[in-house]
Structure 1
Amino acid sequence: MKKLVNKALATAVLASVLAGCASEEDSIVMSPVPKVENSFNTKSLWSTSVGDGVGTYFSKLKPLYSYEKVFVASRDGVVKALAPEKGDVIWKVELDQEGPARLSGGIASGYGQIFIGSENGIIYALDEQTGKINWQTKVKGEVLAAPTTDSNRVIIHSSNGLLMALDEASGELQWTINTDVPNLTLRGSSQPVTESGGVFWGTSNGRLAAAIVEQGQLIWQQPVGTAQGATEIDRLVDVDASPIILGSTLYIVGYNGHLIALDLRTGKQIWKRSYSSATDMVSDGSRLYLVTDKDHIVAVDARSGTELWKNSLLEYRLVTAPSLINDKIVVGDSEGYLYWLDRGTGEFTAKQNVDSSGFAVGPIAVPDGFIVTTRNGKVKKLTIND
């Protein structure tokens, strides 16, 4: 069924539109659910729930498979560790002792712990075996991206442009790097990635930054996009996607910017292509797969930047970042459909209607299947039934 959907919802520029910056001309039509002839179906192995999920909020609480457990969380502060085989609850905690937890910063693991951030600016460290809160630290700004762990540090990127390193054992602040934040930005932050003693992340002012993990020393910054246009929305250049590293090459994409490949050590540009996206990419080692700001799904050759295929049949369906499951590209949409695409051609191979509340994040792979979480808090393990 066709729906009128504001373009800003598709790109997370909610504040500006709801404040009255948009008109009828800004509204666009969501593509209808495409007809797909399934080459396979999925089978549900188990189903459970985690709190009330994320509802209609921005929170992108992607589940995590680590320590042979599935970790899930809800915006209202419920965190669970589940056994991947049958979905049994190993432990459960509620992080709402002083009001709504507003969890939003994804889940990361390391050093026998899991880490999760919130819009309240609190980072929690939980024991992976028991769920016991080892420490919690208040930082400046909202934490909208998952933390990253490296060199006995938990690295946090907050909404006010700060990259911070906390001691993994105590939560004490080790160092801070400050980057400029424009007056108007998208609702999101880039999750940092680490490699060979360096940390790399996208900034709200349209750059990719690199620093040394140990000292927090900024090494270089490279522009991903340049502000252009007459309005503040037109001039948004946020880099909210997480970088991808393949060998000695780093890849990053920005909103109203470009998809670029950089030399990991020097930051020198290798190639640049015109794509606009605010969501994470995925790679199979030779190709990059991304979802554009129009919800077109694109495959690009990692060595040359050549576009290999594009599927535009999900335009403005509020598609999740892509996942790679069973050698296939998978995305979810706002109406609860999962779409499976052939990696080589971009053609649909299957479609399932999972839950009408929709998806905020895509599925993750686990042994013998994959995990999906819906906006209303349902957690399901599915498997492909050929």
Structure 2
Amino acid sequence: MSMKTSVIVFCLGLFTSLCMANDKVKSNAEDAGIQNGKKLFEANCLACHAGAMPEAPKIEALNLYSPERIYHALNSGIMSTSALMLSNQDIRQVAYYLTGKQVEDNKKQREQFLCKAGPQAAKPGTQARWTGWGGAQGNQRFQAQETILNPDNVNGLKLKWAFGFPETTRVRSQPTVTASFVYIGSQEGTVYALDADTGCIHWTFDAGTEVRGAIKLHAHPTDGRSILVFGDTKANAYSLDASTGQMLWKTKVHEHILATVTGSVNADQDKVYVPVSSSEVVPAGRSEYECCTFRGSLVALNLIDGSIAWQTYTTPEPIATGKNSAGANNFGPSGAPIWSSPMLDSKRNLIIATTGQNYSSPATGTSDAVIAMDTDTGKVRWVTQVWENDAWNGGCSRKTANCPKEDGPDFDIGTGVILIDTAHDKQLLLVGQKSGLVFALDPDQNGKILWQKRVGSGGTMGGVHWGMRSDGDRLYVGVSDLPTRNPYTKGEPKPGLNALDPATGELLWHLPMPNDCPAETKFRCYPGISAAVSSSPGLVFAGGMDGMLRAVDANNGEVLWEQNTYQPYTTVNGVDGKGGSIEADGPVIANGQVYITSGYDKWAEMPGNVLLVFALPEE
């Protein structure tokens, strides 16, 4: 062998050895990253995600997250307070441990799925087929304009298209629909303008954090162009140009670090009304946390520029009340969040909101209540409390030092108030509660309770959880009754759908939901209806935590059509799609089509990431 050849062989061998050494160092570093991530997760997160905090996603659900989603949640999202002592590298290693993948800095490109024709002019806000939470004023969730679907042909519904949300395991945004556009938010913070016919993307907007609830399509107060208004989980409110996605303004609506917008905003001619909730119940589960300093509020913004017109809080400002048994400072009163959609009563110049429980003692008269405020000033005109002495936080689930003396029952009002017309020019307010109770209130007698009816046993997830539907003749109520170890439940669970006479509360019919869940599943499958219920003439649409979507005869409760959404889907945008539990946001009926989101990763429910659109086949 020549000297030259020997040198080449030596160099190649050295290069190979160095590469192998580098690979080994890299492998060891990655293994160390996983091990450190495991250690950090077990020290800071495991207890809640292993079942001590039932609302927290199961570890099996976290394994389905993208590393970017976990990084965002710990760095600046809902779990950021639990990661205050973690470095940026620590957070990356936790994400690596849970997903087996490193955090990437670049978002997935979407250009290949843009509509070929480019953005088109959106319809004015007045032309929306379904906008906001209730579809129209009154929060009724009744699509009176639907003329295509009826009880005779609804069993012909077929999947038209499916859209997959990347980097997500739940869909908490209800679509807003025009003749040609669908507007919807996502868990990873992207707002999409989709084509209503094909599902292709007209434009996207990056809010940077989860957008929940329904986006409100509205007319701009000066030039009449279509705009979108909505909130995010960092307590920001936005206005966008509906045609282009260009941001018109962005406003922080609450000063608390854990404030969030879960409920859908509402709007009138010149104001946007933003309900503010909080995630403070989660860190309150730690005994060393100084609980609690958040208080719910409703914020009115000027529609034209996003400036704050008024802000009304649901409790007095929290003050020091002593120390818990672990030595941490306690504060109160607190809580009474608004995580439902407020309802506009233009006849009485009111915006009416519902509240949740207090987070700490003392319990107030404004928790688990219906609160009516003047739309011009925010002044509280009347309060009707439907459950007294409700104070609860995550410490009650974990049996730690911050659980208030009331210890529940955690019976928030999660449904937005419904305003209906009845006979003899009389109006009623209808509201459902997690207790399993439904109430009718008199808007002309300061919210006086006229009747109450129990439709379920109640629980932390309902009872009546997210929404009901009424057209004035009947009230349709979905019942969850998901078992959650809540000691305040009454009677046996009754998961199903109910029709009530809104004038009297009389039960007209009850449709129990069969338990067709698989015998073995690593996620919780349950037949109850937690998501909001919707309807069109002659039909009621309801989605279950088991992933079943059903169309029911409004007159007698007969099931006319059903679809199991708990399955994989081929999506129009190339994202791996999978349905799961149907939660929170309900079906939307528009243009002869039914829109439903499927997938929810909290409370150990079945994750998913799809928007599904069903329609009658074209002849």
TM range (shorter): 0.7 to 0.9
SS at match of 1:40: helix
Structure with max Cα Rg: 2
Which residue in 2 is equivalent to 1:210? 372
SS at match of 1:381: strand
Paired residues of 1:50 and 1:79 also in contact (CA < 8 A): no
SS at match of 1:241: coil
Which residue in 2 is equivalent to 1:32? none
Structure 1 distance, partners of 2:502, 2:49, is: 35
Which residue in 1 is equivalent to 2:120? none
Paired residues of 2:442 and 2:450 also in contact (CA < 8 A): yes
Which residue in 2 is equivalent to 1:165? 300
Q: CA deviation at 1:298?
A: 1.1
Q: 1:132 is matched by which residue type in structure 2?
A: Q
The structure 2 residue matched to 1:175, chosen from 310, 313, 318, is 310
The number of aligned residues is: 350
Q: CA deviation at 1:185?
A: 7.4
Q: CA deviation at 1:16?
A: 8.3
Paired residues of 1:50 and 1:72 also in contact (CA < 8 A): no
Which residue in 2 is equivalent to 1:379? 611
Which residue in 1 is equivalent to 2:341? 191
When structure 1 is superposed on structure 2, of 132-141 and 334-343 the one drifting more is: 334-343
Structure 2 distance, partners of 1:324, 1:70, is: 19
After TM superposition, list the pairs within 5 Å mapping 1:121-270 onto structure 2.
121-140=235-254, 141-159=259-277, 160-180=295-315, 189-196=339-346, 197-204=349-356, 205-227=367-389, 234-247=408-421, 248-256=427-435, 258-266=437-445, 267-270=447-450
Structure 1 distance, partners of 2:194, 2:414, is: 29
Structure 1 distance, partners of 2:342, 2:502, is: 20
Query: Kindly tell me: are residues 225 and 257 of structure 1, through their superposed partners in 2, closer, same or farther at Cα, counting changes over 3 Å?
Result: farther
Q: 2:592 is matched by which residue type in structure 1?
A: D
SS at match of 2:52: helix
Paired residues of 2:368 and 2:385 also in contact (CA < 8 A): yes
Is 1:287 the counterpart of 2:474 in the alignment?
Answer: yes
Q: 1:108 is matched by which residue type in structure 2?
A: K
Task: Show structure 1 runs of 5+ residues with no match.
Answer: 1-14, 23-37
Which residue in 2 is equivalent to 1:306? 506
Structure 2 distance, partners of 1:151, 1:186, is: 28
Query: Kindly tell me: are residues 186 and 203 of structure 1, through their superposed partners in 2, closer, same or farther at Cα, counting changes over 3 Å?
Result: closer
Structure 2 distance, partners of 1:16, 1:236, is: 18
Which residue in 2 is equivalent to 1:370? 594
Structure 2 distance, partners of 1:309, 1:61, is: 30
Paired residues of 1:224 and 1:257 also in contact (CA < 8 A): no
| Alignment TM-score, normalising by the size of structure 2 | 0.52
| Alignment TM-score, normalising by the size of structure 1 | 0.81
Which digits, 9 at most, give the CA deviation of each residue in 1:13-49, with x for residues without a partner? xx98966378xxxxxxxxxxxxxxx982422223333
| Identity between Structure 1 and Structure 2 (%) | 23
Which residue in 1 is equivalent to 2:233? 119
SS at match of 1:265: helix
Q: CA deviation at 1:156?
A: 0.8
SS at match of 1:273: strand
Is 1:349 the counterpart of 2:467 in the alignment?
Answer: no
The answer to which structure has the higher strand fraction is 1
Is 1:72 the counterpart of 2:184 in the alignment?
Answer: yes
Q: 1:81 is matched by which residue type in structure 2?
A: A
SS at match of 2:158: strand
Which residue in 2 is equivalent to 1:35? none
Paired residues of 1:105 and 1:118 also in contact (CA < 8 A): no
Which residue in 2 is equivalent to 1:336? 547
Query: Kindly tell me: are residues 17 and 263 of structure 1, through their superposed partners in 2, closer, same or farther at Cα, counting changes over 3 Å?
Result: farther
Query: Kindly tell me: are residues 307 and 227 of structure 1, through their superposed partners in 2, closer, same or farther at Cα, counting changes over 3 Å?
Result: farther
Which residue in 1 is equivalent to 2:169? 55
Q: 1:168 is matched by which residue type in structure 2?
A: L
Task: Show structure 2 runs of 5+ residues with no match.
Answer: 1-46, 55-152, 220-225, 278-294, 317-331, 357-366, 397-405, 422-426, 456-462, 482-494, 516-525, 568-578, 600-607
Q: CA deviation at 1:308?
A: 0.7
Which digits, 9 at most, give the CA deviation of each residue in 1:70-114, with x for residues without a partner? 111211112111232333322222222xxxx12224311222211
- Return the structure number with greater relative CO, CA threshold 8 A, min gap 6: 1
Paired residues of 1:342 and 1:348 also in contact (CA < 8 A): yes
Structure 2 distance, partners of 1:243, 1:102, is: 25
Q: 1:88 is matched by which residue type in structure 2?
A: C
Which residue in 1 is equivalent to 2:527? 317
Structure 2 distance, partners of 1:214, 1:85, is: 40
Q: 1:113 is matched by which residue type in structure 2?
A: I
Which digits, 9 at most, give the CA deviation of each residue in 1:155-178, with x for residues without a partner? 011114101101111111110111
Q: CA deviation at 1:135?
A: 0.9
Q: 1:121 is matched by which residue type in structure 2?
A: A
Paired residues of 2:301 and 2:308 also in contact (CA < 8 A): yes
Structure 1 distance, partners of 2:186, 2:334, is: 27
Q: CA deviation at 1:322?
A: 1.3
Paired residues of 2:390 and 2:408 also in contact (CA < 8 A): yes
Paired residues of 2:276 and 2:338 also in contact (CA < 8 A): no
Structure 1 distance, partners of 2:538, 2:154, is: 14
Q: 2:339 is matched by which residue type in structure 1?
A: S
Structure 1 distance, partners of 2:388, 2:433, is: 10
Structure 1 distance, partners of 2:53, 2:307, is: 41
Structure 1 distance, partners of 2:408, 2:512, is: 22
SS at match of 2:315: coil
When structure 1 is superposed on structure 2, of 86-95 and 143-152 the one drifting more is: 86-95
When structure 1 is superposed on structure 2, of 243-252 and 368-377 the one drifting more is: 368-377
Structure 2 distance, partners of 1:41, 1:157, is: 39
Paired residues of 1:151 and 1:213 also in contact (CA < 8 A): no
Which digits, 9 at most, give the CA deviation of each residue in 1:37-68, with x for residues without a partner? x982422223333444x524xx6211111475
Query: Kindly tell me: are residues 16 and 74 of structure 1, through their superposed partners in 2, closer, same or farther at Cα, counting changes over 3 Å?
Result: same
Q: 1:203 is matched by which residue type in structure 2?
A: T
Which digits, 9 at most, give the CA deviation of each residue in 1:279-338, with x for residues without a partner? 110113311111224132111111111011112225742532212146322222334321
When structure 1 is superposed on structure 2, of 186-195 and 227-236 the one drifting more is: 227-236
Is 1:108 the counterpart of 2:216 in the alignment?
Answer: yes
Structure 1 distance, partners of 2:163, 2:51, is: 37
When structure 1 is superposed on structure 2, of 361-370 and 175-184 the one drifting more is: 175-184
Structure 1 distance, partners of 2:164, 2:338, is: 25
Which residue in 2 is equivalent to 1:297? 497
Structure 1 distance, partners of 2:452, 2:248, is: 44
Query: Kindly tell me: are residues 16 and 318 of structure 1, through their superposed partners in 2, closer, same or farther at Cα, counting changes over 3 Å?
Result: farther
